[in-house]
A and B are shown apart, each in its own frame.
Chain A
Amino acid sequence: MRTSISNKKFLITLISITVILILSLETSYYLVYGETVQPRYGGVLVVGIPSEPPNLVLTGAPTWVYYQVVTPICNSLIDFDPNTLEWVPDLAESWNITVTPDGKMLVIFHLIKNAMWHDGYPFTSADVKYSYEVIGPKFNSFIAGMWKYLEGIETPDNYTVIFKFNTTWGLILYPGYFGGAGTCISPKHLYEGTDIVNNPYNLKPVGTGPFKFAEWVKGQYIKLVRNDHYWKKGLPYLDAIIFKIIPSSSAMALALQKGEIDFVWNYGLTMSDAVALEKMIKEGKLPNLKVWFFPSPGGSIDFLGFNLHPDGPAPLKDVRVRKAIAMAINRTAIAELVYYGKVEPLSKIVPNVPATAMFMPTAKQPDYNPDEANKLLDEAGYKRGPDGIRFRLRLTIDATSYPWYVQEAQLIRDFLKQVGIDVQIITLDTAAWHQTVFRNWDFDMSIFPFVEGPGPAYFIQYFTKRGIVRASWSNAMGFDDPRADEYLFAAEKEINKTKQIELVKKALDIITEDQPGVWLVSRTFIAALNTAFSDELQPGVWENGWGTAYMRPEKIFLKTLPVTTPITTTTPTPTTTSPTITVSTPTPTTTTTSTPPKITTPVPTTPAAPTLSTEAIIAIGVVILVVIIGASLYLVRRRK
């Protein structure tokens, strides 16, 4: 009897254990691999942008609105992993960085062999050489600057490029040189022998990317369509992307609410409108929209810079005054009131975001302490006058591109008023601000929307002697501390990343102590997306927009479409497997053998510019004539 019961028990336990094991294996498999995501082919993504890029040159001047439009059209040599900022393959499938015995550096790229330009031409190393030698220097300041260290570019065969540097230049590890930000490759066969600056392809670009340029209606929209011969097989999923130009933030927010646009990436929506949208979503009023805030990919901050040139205001030359101003400004209040608490008030020179956290130094700015500030100002010899004012300063801001800087300036004015500094706010439009502050150096203080990363290049640009040039986005403050300069220039030549980071940190400690301005708050970026579009196959695509694959929406698809066969086309060039791109797309299941129905989301009806047709003119003319005749008849009658 005992054995039969224990046998049964044994069996039961055995079965239950097996079942549990199978179940846990299943769940863990599920957790690890997730739901099998079925992408759908088709759909049009409408993106809202606040202004038109000046051109669409692929190896062009990096500005954020330009990136959004250009990145789907093109590819760079390499891309950056969004979290580690390490190189990942794009047009280059592998690479090698070697240092020769005489201190020179060779960067060798091995290119993929199956990429094609949108017009059918094959992509080769000659395109890379031409882009970096001829096109880049004309449009892109990073690449122009590269040539100080670049001896030459060699192309031993169609698929190998060798960059020869005359020294070990550490900045190439970061976006802006071989990947990211305006470093796409342009087609040599369309530019050679032409006037580069006025080449028509600057406005209708031909690239190697997942989307082809289709049309640009100035002032209204730019349309890209699917590249059926993209070298990454099976991609992209969308049929088209339309960039609709909406200059006002409230109009942008309204368009999102109405579903006229599907996506906005930071530029074009003010923080307050985004917060309001977030509120509406929480209240359930906008079920098809999601809004989220994420740390700025480049480490953008608001920096209150002081004019430290010899002819700048005298009080700012005293470091005690500068420290006092830092103590007088309550950065948390600015974060709360201007940015709804979505940003980080800065206690150190860099924000704690992926692009800059690696450089976090030990030194920090003084905390908010208005009493201490008053004491320091008295000590520095600036006593309060009979009206309570110690001295006056001007605060010049760009109120067109950054309208919320007006509020930020008002807060700064109030804070400084409390320590006896009278601030006069001067609002300028963007062009005037660049001219006045960056070229004429005619300011006392200004709020600079500096991008502090990734990489030491920005510290060199804004806080060293080399940056003191009369050009936009330079060291307008005129700040120069030779000790910090030394560390930063050494970091520039260091290719060992760890050593480089140490050198930069030392420089940042010194700069923080010098207080050439007040590092106010970091900036948060905003994104708003129609939830019908899925980014599950490209997670982080919107958050890590260092202008590369992460803003290349090649794996975005419209969830509401049925799963269908991809539009298969035979590629003329021999197909070689493109390597190492971790594509986790399962093969789409065929449901029908017929061609997939082209389901497009309604294209926004662009309002036609009002034109007067001839009939309208004639009609108006007739009406005017009738009125004049009638009036004169009436007057004549009255005279009688």
Chain B
Amino acid sequence: MKRGILIIEKLKIIKSNIRLLLGVIIISVIVSLGLLASYITWYQPLMAMEGPPYQPPSLQHPFGTDDLGGDIYTNVIYGIRTSLFVGVLSAVIAMVIGIMIGTLAGYYGGFIDDLLMRIVDMAFIIPQFLLALLIATILGPNIYNITLAIGVTSWPGIARMTRAMILSIKQLTFIEAARVIGLSDTRIIFSELLPNALPPIIPYIALQASSNVLVEAGLGFLGVSDPNVPSLGMLLNDAQQHILMNAWWMSLFPGIFLSLMILGFNLLGDGLIEYMNPRLRRAS
């Protein structure tokens, strides 16, 4: 009887954190695929002529071959690496920029707040994808420029959120106390404000990463990708260019893994938010 109740309790806990759990599982699987890429593939990435072109999936080529006879499975696995790299790094860049601007606006208030928030508003209006496309095309399509382009166009939401967090914490007495003692602004920001404001924002890195992975794939689909690096978006572009050849495997597999990645990051982000805010949790 007791055992039964224990199990039910455990299941309840799992159920109430199901999102987080799923997200962690999916992302860990994907990350391990990316890390173990060289061990689980038997061809070189981006090599053509590994087999006859337009072959459907087989044992030799689990995801089939593309228009140049390259192995799609190898390119998908290495493409996951690229997507992870670009998605996460650009999310971190966006985080850094957003947190900086949000903190400055929230802490100093007044004119600086107004100015920065108007800038954030303008940044919100400019369509992120188009701006990233523009920047990537101007700088030249290599992997670092693309990461940078996506990173510097996805920070507005985070800035607003950080500012809100800072504002709410600013009211609390211990901040006033720190000011009374005479701590410098920088000290207050870094040792009092941020450590309290940041934790709720961390999950948004995951959400931002999922959105950035999609943007990177979108850029690749439009042809703005680094041809020296395998990318899921580039694979989808190839599939679209040769769509009349009816090679369904060229778009299915990159699409599945892309969707999984986005799903995983979303679940991770949502799950973390839920986990850190018990009152938002659905009643189990």
Q: Which residues of A contact B (CB under 8 A)?
A: 249-250, 253, 270, 272-273, 275-277, 279-280, 333, 337-338, 399, 403, 406-407, 409-411, 413-414, 417, 424-429
Contact = CB atoms under 8 A, between A and B. Distances in A.
Contacts of B46: 410, 413
13 contacts: A249-B241, A253-B244, A272-B245, A280-B244, A333-B49, A337-B53, A406-B227, A409-B227, A411-B68, A426-B140, A426-B227, A427-B141, A428-B140
A427 B237 CA distance: 14
A280 B246 CA distance: 11
A429 B223 CA distance: 10
Given A337-B48, A337-B69, A411-B48, A424 B228 contact: yes
Contacts of B245: 272, 275-276
A337 B67 contact: yes
Interface in B216-231: 223, 227-228
A178 to B, nearest CB: 41
A302 B188 CA distance: 64
Interface string B31-75: 000000000000000111100010000000000000111100000
A482 to B, nearest CB: 37
Contacts of A427: 141, 223, 227
Interface in B139-156: 140-141
A254 B149 CA distance: 34
Contacts of B240: 250
Nearest to B227: A425
Contacts, number: 59
A424 B242 CA distance: 24
B244 A276 contact: yes
A272 B242 contact: yes
B47 A414 contact: yes
Contacts of A277: 244
Contacts of A409: 227
Contacts of B25: none
Given A249-B241, A250-B240, 11 more contacts: A270-B241, A272-B242, A276-B242, A276-B244, A280-B244, A337-B49, A337-B67, A407-B67, A410-B46, A411-B68, A417-B47
A337 B137 contact: no
Given A333-B49, A403-B241, A410-B48, A425 B67 contact: no
A554 B47 CA distance: 49
A410 B241 contact: no
Interface of B: 46-49, 53, 67-70, 137, 140-141, 223, 227-228, 240-245
A406 B70 CA distance: 14
A190 to B, nearest CB: 40
Majority SS of interface residues in chain A?
A: helix
A333 B53 CA distance: 11
B60 to A, nearest CB: 18
B228 A411 contact: no
B137 A429 contact: yes
A277 B243 CA distance: 11
Q: Which residue of B241, B243, B244 has the most chain A CB atoms within 10 A of its CB atom? A: B244
B244 A250 contact: yes
Nearest to A333: B49
B228 A273 contact: no
Nearest to B50: A414
Contacts of A273: 244
A417 B228 CA distance: 13
Q: Which residue of B46, B47, B70, B228 has the most chain A CB atoms within 10 A of its CB atom? A: B228
A273 to B, nearest CB: 6
B244 A410 contact: no
A414 B48 contact: yes
B223 A403 contact: yes
A272 B48 contact: no
Contact of A250 (B69, B141, B223, B243): B243
A373 to B, nearest CB: 17
Closest 9 CB pairs of A and B: A276-B244, A425-B227, A414-B48, A272-B242, A337-B68, A411-B48, A410-B48, A427-B227, A414-B47
Contacts of A417: 47
Contacts of B243: 250
Nearest to B66: A407
Contacts of B223: 399, 403, 427
A421 to B, nearest CB: 14
Contacts of A413: 46
A409 B48 CA distance: 11
Nearest to B46: A410
Nearest to A330: B49
B44 to A, nearest CB: 9
A411 B49 contact: yes
B88 to A, nearest CB: 25
Contacts of B141: 427
Contacts of B70: 410
A407 B69 CA distance: 11
Nearest to A272: B242
Contacts of A250: 240-241, 243-244
Q: Which residue of B48, B69, B240, B245 has the most chain A CB atoms within 10 A of its CB atom? A: B48
A279 B67 CA distance: 16
Contacts of A407: 48, 67-68
A253 B241 CA distance: 11
Contacts of A337: 48-49, 53, 67-69
A249 B242 CA distance: 10
Contacts of B69: 337
A528 to B, nearest CB: 13
A272 B244 CA distance: 8
A502 B46 CA distance: 45
B230 to A, nearest CB: 11
Contacts of A399: 223
Contacts of B47: 414, 417
B227 A414 contact: no
Nearest to A338: B68
A276 B223 CA distance: 21
B242 to A, nearest CB: 5
Contacts of A428: 140
A541 B218 CA distance: 42
A270 B245 CA distance: 13
A26 to B, nearest CB: 46
A254 to B, nearest CB: 9
